[in-house]
Amino acid sequence: MKTTTAGRPIAVHAFSTRNFAPQERLDVWRDLVGGSYTLSADPVGFEAEARLAQIDGMIFRSMTASVQSVGRTAAQIRRDGLEHFSLHLNHAGYCFSSARGDGVLHPGEISINDLTRPFERSAALERDSIVLSLPRDAVERIAPQTSLHGAVLGGPVATLFATHMQMLASRMAELPQAAARPLMDSTLAMLGAALSTYAPDTKCLDAARALAAKRHIRRNLSRVSLGPETIARDLRISRTTLYRLFEAEGGVAHYISRRRLAAAAAALRDPDDLRSISALVVAFGFGSASSLARAFRARYGMSPSDFRLARRDEPEDFSGAAYAAWLRQIA
């Protein structure tokens, strides 16, 4: 009997540095998870293991690793274009620095990082830690007016959410593909409940303006004329202010191009989205099929049609490149 996609379990990929020589372990760990981060650790005695799974539009990574520090720079942000939110549940605790200022994550709390903004985390042990990557659009639907970068979730409701994350991570290999979308919906609902008790910093005017501008861009991708002049006019801010808000993104035009490409890639990944390539050109404001094709070849090394076919298959051999491809899919 043929097993349907919905009946198959969610693919879980396991990784351990124990399969490598001691002097290679830190480097191979960096290759797997550190491509979009600065990752520092003592190579002597370094060990790490991880389990990774893609559940609908979210990515789970549970891991245990030697003490390591993690950060993300403006240069990395410009280079890789990742835009999702990363939630980190850590049982050791650590100090961190972001645009929100310096802070402390206590054991069992959840930190949130916006990958379009730099951050730095002090060295900490990873013991059954969980990193949850969520699409920007999904998070901003439940927290539309909140700047979440550097936020720390604690308290009773956040503890329930942490338990939910732990249960998903521990049962990943048993979950059927058919449950992927409901599981993502329930995870977002739990995050929304945790955020309902979070008191954001209301002083970050620039952060709020940037959020509004990015939301406006995503809602108007079909407009070929979308650009700094039209955005500034629509939001009633000066172009100088708009340019400043998008400095870390590599500029307004660069951000628009990335969002168009990410939206088109999401549509091509979705097996229920049957729109033609020409329809996607119009829907996301590429102007022409050749513009869309050039963008895909530059980013993914393949045509939009080939991308649509390739996304339907799980990679047989999981690697840092495969994990990076997952993250680009939810950028």
In the chain (331 residues long), the average pLDDT of successive 10-residue segments reads 62 92 92 82 93 92 92 85 90 67 76 89 88 92 79 91 94 92 95 83 60 86 93 90 86 91 87 90 93 90 88 57 66 56
* Residue that terminates a domain, selected from 202, 237, 253: 202
Same domain? For 40 and 146 the reply is: yes
The reply to whether 44 and 80 lie within a common domain is yes
By CB neighbour count within 10 A (0-12 exposed, 13-18 middle, 19+ buried), where does 240 fall? exposed
- Cα(36)–Cα(72) distance, rounded to whole angstroms? 7
pLDDT of residue 278: 93
- Domain assignment present for 177: yes
Residues 159 and 306 in one domain: no
Amino acid, res. 44? V
Residues 81 and 224 in one domain: no
Residue 124, pLDDT score: 85
| Cα-to-chain-centroid distance, residue 105 | 20
**Cα three-residue angle 288-290-295, rounded to 5 degrees:** 105
CATH no. for residue 213?
1.10.10.60
Determine, yes or no, domain membership for 151. Answer: yes
Task: Indicate whether 280 and 159 sit together in one domain.
Answer: no
Classify residue 18: in a domain, yes or no.
yes
CB 120 within 8 A of CB 143: no
**Do the domain assignments include residue 322?**
no
- Helix, coil or strand: residue 85: strand
Domain annotation covers residue 300: yes
Provide the 8-state DSSP code for 8.
S
My answer on whether 145 and 229 are in the same domain is no
Q: What is the CATH number of the domain that holds 191?
A: 2.60.120.10
Residue 331 counted as domain residue: no
Domain that holds residue 238: 205-310
DSSP string, 62-79: EEEEEEEEEEE-HHHHHH
Q: Are residues 170 and 247 in the same domain?
A: no
Residue 59 · residue 51 · CB < 8 Å:
no
140 and 38 inside one domain: yes
Question: pLDDT at position 230, please?
Answer: 93
pLDDT number for residue 82: 85
Residues 234 and 294 in one domain: yes
Work out the end-to-end distance of the chain between its first and last CA atoms, rounded to an integer number of angstroms.
37
Residue 34 lies in a domain: yes
Same domain, residue pair 71 and 169? yes
The predicted pLDDT at position 329 comes to 62
Longest dimension (CA), the chain: 63
Whether residue 285 sits in one domain with residue 227: yes
When divided into structural domains, the chain yields a total of 2
Residues 195 and 209 in one domain: no
